[in-house]
DNA sequence: TTTT
DNA sequence: TTTT
């Protein structure tokens, strides 16, 4: 209803994706994605900043991720920002922000595939 | 460099924005934005989910926010996902994900203004 | 396959939408959308430019458009850029660029609805 | 004002870009970009459609294009939809839709650069 | 042809 | 904590 929640990222996987098969044959994959940007400071020097994003993928996107994406792969990810709370080992409520993907485009020459959820 | 980090949201402010003037006359505004979505469950019943997002705005966008946005205002926000760590009162490292806005469009009839950073 | 084609617009309808029911009960709606932007010239004067976009909507989005959108309505449109050729009355091949919508969000207070194709 | 006009594309150049230096040392580059999509028909067969887009780039983006992009290069383009009219050789008014880029990301391994206008 |  |  009157809402838009969309994230688009292009970056590289920080490590091989994690993949699990849940009950009912539902697959979930997760990975960290680094997006790097160049910017100039006041003196005109170029610096880079990297932001890390937690990506979660379900079903066919999880299979694709598991099959084709590896540490270092470059990928376009489109999805929704979701906040999830969980209890840490000390019983405290913790909050995480994740991007639940609904489209990915693999940007490495080796593989080439787009998929929609 | 080879990176894209973009968030686009349309939603409503959960409360009046917080505004502060930092040293050097730099303004910062913050607010929580709710994005609500409808989806159908397996039985065809419509449900709503709301996601809350922490928005941070600097300089001219902070002034605009301070001047025009209020609890309930509908707004389009475009920005970047940034993760920030800070120490909580117990000295633990905590992580927050914020959206640093670089464009807003006010979507309420009352006011009408787009601004770029 | 390795392709992304996405347009996002916020603007106002230039006229009431056109709606037709094709064979097989498939609805199509069309409208022109104006997006207006402010920019400053070299002397700091503010100017406005308006761009007009041809929007095409199918099925449930066509019904929504027909039901709720009118001349002047403000709407968010997300879709794909498509080029279509047709023969004009003099038999020449002409080209049009249209945006085939796959999501709309009505931004007027009166009505309030998001719908996905 | 209250307007959003944004296009995001990932695709390949159909030919080497055209580059011109206008008066005042202002560079303009143009190229055609193909975005390809897979879709399934009613029988589950996969088909591909290609859409062609006219991209225009000014100043530093034109230089980058001229220097690094070639026929076949894969690129992310973000920009605005602009309609332009011109007179064809027979004196008729013709309309073209172009995407005026304000950001590109080169997606080929060989080169690697993001630039903002 | 819209809107502020 | 918002909105419809």
Alpha carbon distance B84, B53 (integer Å):
14
- Residue C95's pLDDT is 86
Note the CA–C1' distance, B106 to E4, in angstroms. 11
Is the model's pLDDT at A113 over the cut of 50? Answer: no
Q: What is the DSSP string of D18-84?
A: EEEEEGGGEEEEEEEEEEEEEEE-TTS-EEEEEEEEEEEEEHHHHHHHHHH--TT-EEEEEEEEEEE
Q: Which residue among A1, A106, A107 places its CB closest to the CB of C112?
A: A1
Distance from C-alpha of A91 to C-alpha of C89, rounded to nearest angstrom = 74
Chains that touch A (3 or more CB pairs under 8 A): B, C, D
Quote the CA–CA distance of A70 and D108 in Å, as a whole number: 18
* Mean pLDDT within A79-101: 90
pLDDT at B111 over 80: no
Strand F proximity list, CB < 7 Å: A 1-3; B 11-15, 32, 34, 36, 48, 50, 52, 71-72, 74; C 109, 111-112
What pLDDT score was predicted for residue C94?
Answer: 85
**How far, in Å, CA of B36 to CA of A96, rounded?**
19
Q: What is the pLDDT of residue B113?
A: 43
Environment class of B18 (CB within 10 Å of its CB; exposed 0-12, middle 13-18, buried 19+) = middle
Give residue A29's pLDDT.
98
B64's tokens? 């605009």
Which pLDDT band, with edges at 50, 70 and 90, does B112 fall under? very low
CB-based burial label for A3 (10 Å; 0-12, 13-18, 19+)? buried
For residue A102 the two structure tokens come to 């609904």
Annotate B68-85 with DSSP letters as a single string: H--TT-EEEEEEEEEEEE
Query: Who among A1, A35, A81 is closest to B38 (CB)?
Result: A1
For A18-81, what is the HEC assignment? EEEEEHHHEEEEEEEEEEEEEEECCCCCEEEEEEEEEEEEEHHHHHHHHHHCCCCCEEEEEEEE
The predicted pLDDT at position D4 comes to 97
Q: Report how far residue A22's alpha carbon sits from residue A57's, in angstroms, rounded to the nearest whole number.
A: 13
The answer to whether the C-beta of C72 is closer than 7 A to strand E is yes
Shortest CA distance to B51 belongs to which of B38, B40, B61? B38
Whether B117 shows a pLDDT value over 70: the answer reads no
Backbone angles phi, psi at B19, to 5 degrees: -135, 135
Bigger pLDDT: A9 or B94?
Answer: A9
Do A1 and C106 count as a contact with CB atoms less than 8 A apart? no
Each of the 117 residues of chain C gets a pLDDT tens digit; together they read 579 999 999 999 999 999 999 999 999 999 999 999 988 888 888 899 999 999 999 999 999 999 999 999 999 999 999 999 888 888 888 889 999 999 999 998 654 444 555
Q: What's C66's DSSP letter?
A: H
User: Whole-angstrom Cα distance, residue D72 to residue D75?
Assistant: 9
The Cα C26–Cα B58 span in angstroms is 48
Least confident of A3-17, B68-82, C41-55: C41-55
CA A51, CA B99: separation in Å to the nearest integer? 12
The low-confidence residues of chain D, meaning pLDDT below 70, are 1, 109-117
CA dihedral A87, A90, A93, A98 (to 10 degrees): -60
* C114 near A CB under 8 A: yes
pLDDT, residue C112, reads 41
pLDDT of amino acid A13: 98
* D7-108 is a CATH 2.40.50.140 domain: yes
pLDDT reported for residue C102: 95
H helix intervals, chain B: 59-68
Asked whether the beta carbons of B58 and B80 are under 8 A apart, the reply is: no
* Contacts of range C98-103, beta carbons closer than 8 Å, 24 or more positions apart: C98/C54, C98/C55, C98/C56, C99/C7, C99/C9, C99/C53, C99/C54, C99/C55, C99/C56, C100/C56, C100/C57, C100/C58, C101/C55, C101/C56, C101/C57, C101/C61, C101/C77, C102/C61, C102/C78, C103/C61, C103/C76, C103/C77, C103/C78, C103/C79
Distance between CA C18 and CA B7 in Å, rounded? Answer: 33
Q: How far is CA D54 from CA C100, D12, D13, D21, in A?
A: 17, 12, 10, 19
Q: What is the pLDDT of residues A26-69, one digit of tens each?
A: 999 999 999 999 888 889 899 999 999 999 999 999 999 999 99
Residue D7: its pLDDT value, please?
98
Query: B109 vs C109: CB contact, 8 Å cut-off?
Result: yes
Say whether the CB atom of D2 is under 7 angstroms from strand E.
Answer: yes
Q: In sequence order, what are the beta bridge partners of C33?
A: C13, C53
Distance C1 CA to F1 C1' (A): 41
> What's the gap in Å between the CA of B104 and the closest CA on chain D?
9
Residues from chain C that touch A111, judged by Cβ atoms under 8 A, are none
pLDDT tens per residue across span B80-94: 999 998 888 888 888
pLDDT digits (tens, 9 = 90+) for B1-58: 579 999 999 999 999 999 999 999 999 999 999 999 988 888 888 899 999 999 999 9
Stated length of chain C:
117
What tokens does A48 get? 């880079």
Which of the nucleotides in strand E have any atom less than 7 Å away from a protein CB atom?
Answer: 1-4
Predicted local distance difference test score (pLDDT) of residue A115: 55
**In angstroms, how far is F2 C1' from B35 CA?**
8
Q: What is the mean pLDDT of residues A90-108?
A: 92
Quick one: pLDDT at residue C111?
47
CA geometry: angle A71, A77, A80, nearest 5 deg: 125
Q: How far apart are CA B5 and CA A38, in angstroms?
A: 12
User: With an 8 Å Cβ cutoff, are B107 and C107 in contact?
Assistant: yes
Domain ranges of chain B: 7-108
């Amino acid at each position: 209803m009157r809402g838009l929640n969309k994230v688009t990222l292009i970056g590289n996987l920080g490590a091989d994706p994690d993949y699990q098969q849940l009950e009912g044959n539902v697959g979930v994959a997760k990975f960290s994605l680094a997006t790097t940007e160049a910017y100039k400071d006041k003196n005109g020097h170029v610096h880079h900043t990297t932001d890390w994003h937690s990506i979660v993928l379900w079903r066919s996107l999880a299979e694709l991720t598991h099959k084709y994406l590896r540490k270092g792969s470059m990928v376009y990810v489109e999805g929704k920002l979701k906040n999830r709370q969980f209890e840490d080992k000390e019983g405290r409520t913790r909050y995480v922000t994740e991007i639940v993907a609904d489209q990915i485009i693999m940007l490495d020459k080796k593989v080439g595939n787009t998929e929609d959820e």
